Structure 1
Amino acid sequence: MKQVRGLSRRSVRRRTGRVLVEGPQGVREAVRFAPDRIRDLYVTAEGAQRYAEFVEPAREHGVVVHETSEEVLAAMCDADTPQGTAAVVDWAPSTLASVLAARPRLLVLLSHVRDPGNLGTVIRGADAAGADAVLVSDGSVDVTSPKVVRSTAGSIFHLPVVTGLDIGATLSALDDAGVRRLAADGVGERTIDEVDLSGPHAWVMGNEAWGLQAGTRDACDEVVRVPIHGHAESLNLAMATTICLYASARAMHA
């Protein structure tokens, strides 16, 4: 129990190379897309019946399934209500080189994102929009934190997530790979409805509080804004990113 609970600390996750996945959505997707990486699956008696759709396939795949009480599960988990199941999974980080080698069409690069819910929601939105990967700069919240993993609702097992990237070097690598860099910022002269989104490109998104630094905007091929038609001062980072990604998906599938 202490070992699983310890995964709420970044130092433990780094030392062990494991992450804690809480709740049925995340555990189900881990079973579906990364069963070989699951170390242990924990489930309550009620959860074993309710979530048989993935508990039984996990057992058949050789995953060790531990039946536990709700109290013990709650003590192991970071979430107040883990909803009857959790799993310990080996973390498999991706690299920028492998992402670019696959000749991506749609990427999102997050610069110094600090809120766990925002990062997790961006990963989920990128997955839904059909993005090829999510790139995360150094100085950002840890993608393996339980709050981020929960917020992805299992999407963290669907697409590559590259972390710890230097923004300048990454922008240069994208340029070398023929990927246009579109800075999403309110100072953009053109909106997402006016820019060409048909070719390979990456949306570059800034920090929740201060947005993109001037040097980062200047290093991009174009600065694009999301139009605001009402009186809102701005959009939440995750919301703005999802809007941009879906504009790209619409252009690519037109």
Structure 2
Amino acid sequence: MNTPLSHANSRVKEARKLSRRSVRTERRLFLADGPKAVEGALTVPGCVVEVFATVAAAEQYAALLVDVPQLWLVEDRAMDSLSDSVSPAGVVAVCRFLDVDLADVLSSSPRLVTVCADVRDPGNAGTVIRTSDAAGAQAVVLAGHSVDPYNPKTVRASVGSLFHLPVVLVDDPGQVVRALQEAGLTVLAADGAGEVDLFDADLAPATAWLFGNEAWGLPDELAALADHRVSIPIHGSAESLNLATAAAVCLYASARAQR
């Protein structure tokens, strides 16, 4: 067995730089931390460049790592420097960017699409990607000033779902809404002041859900582009639902209606 690399090893140092967005963008590489993320990445041909694992993790996940292009054993301290998790699982992959174009997504006639406009919390974004995957959505669009999907926290929060469905990046949320409508999808804006109650809405047709920023929601001018503004009824005293919970409720309501 090769001697594990230390945290000072040049290859470990270069991989560690991918924690910075500027480096990820320049190199078009990112880190996938944990066995579920690595497992997901390995399902995408050509995505995984190399994998770092502690000796213990290499033994524990031997079946998972058998076909990786390049496996580097590392010391625990080196793994700590590569992972931003409080308790690293001991395995991290360097992956290539997953480039997906909105036109390609729409050409496949999706029935359910999630659109996040200016969603900036990496944990929320990762959870919405994971929830969209679980609900059977065919794509997630991160529009406007949304978080980098390759942020380590986003990748980890998606628990592998980042690799299961297309995640599209588009600068202009309004452009996304118009493109979805032209493709025949009904765009529903999740809005606490919406005129349509979620449980009265017709969710059977092909639908795209539009969700806004965690703190201030959707801008009026963007929500106005949607076909309908839909509100989730609040039966108790809570003021509202957080983004990830609201997305889960809406997406599963659509999943149920479409099935």
Please give the TM-score of this superposition, normalised by the length of structure 1: 0.95
Q: How does 1:177-188 map to 2 (within 5 A)?
A: 177-188=183-194
Equivalent residues, number: 248
What SS is found at the alignment partner of 1:66? strand
What SS is found at the alignment partner of 1:219? coil
2:61 aligned partner:
51
Residue identity over aligned pairs, in percent, reads 44
Q: How does 1:76-87 map to 2 (within 5 A)?
A: 76-87=82-93
Moved more, 46-55 or 147-156: 46-55
Q: Please, which of 30, 34, 37 is the counterpart of residue 23 of structure 1?
A: 34
Whole-Å Cα distance in 2 between the matches of residues 76 and 204 of structure 1?
Answer: 34
Whole-Å Cα distance in 1 between the matches of residues 138 and 173 of structure 2?
Answer: 18
Q: Which amino acid aligns with 2:107?
A: A
Contact 2:191 2:231 (8 Å CA) reproduced:
yes
Contact 1:116 1:148 (8 Å CA) reproduced:
yes
1:227 aligned partner:
233
Contact 1:30 1:38 (8 Å CA) reproduced:
yes
2:100 aligned partner:
94
What SS is found at the alignment partner of 2:31? strand
Q: How does 1:208-247 map to 2 (within 5 A)?
A: 208-247=214-253
Gapped runs of 5+ residues in structure 2? 1-11
Cα shift at 1:24? 1.3
2:47 aligned partner:
37
Contact 1:4 1:77 (8 Å CA) reproduced:
no
What SS is found at the alignment partner of 1:193? helix
Contact 1:117 1:148 (8 Å CA) reproduced:
yes
Gapped runs of 5+ residues in structure 1? none
Cα shift at 1:53? 2.8
Cα shift at 1:35? 4.6
Moved more, 67-76 or 127-136: 67-76
Please give the TM-score of this superposition, normalised by the length of structure 2: 0.93
The reply to whether residue 12 of structure 1 matches residue 23 of structure 2 is yes
Whole-Å Cα distance in 2 between the matches of residues 50 and 228 of structure 1?
Answer: 45
Q: Deviations over 1:23-45 (max 9, x none)?
A: 111112112x1252111011111
Cα shift at 1:177? 0.7
After superposing on structure 2, the runs of 4+ consecutive aligned residues of structure 1 that deviate more than 2 Å are 76-82
Q: Deviations over 1:73-103 (max 9, x none)?
A: 1122333332110000001221110011111
Whole-Å Cα distance in 2 between the matches of residues 93 and 12 of structure 1?
Answer: 17
1:111 aligned partner:
117
Q: Deviations over 1:153-191 (max 9, x none)?
A: 000000000113311111111111111110001111222
CA RMSD of aligned residues (A): 1.1
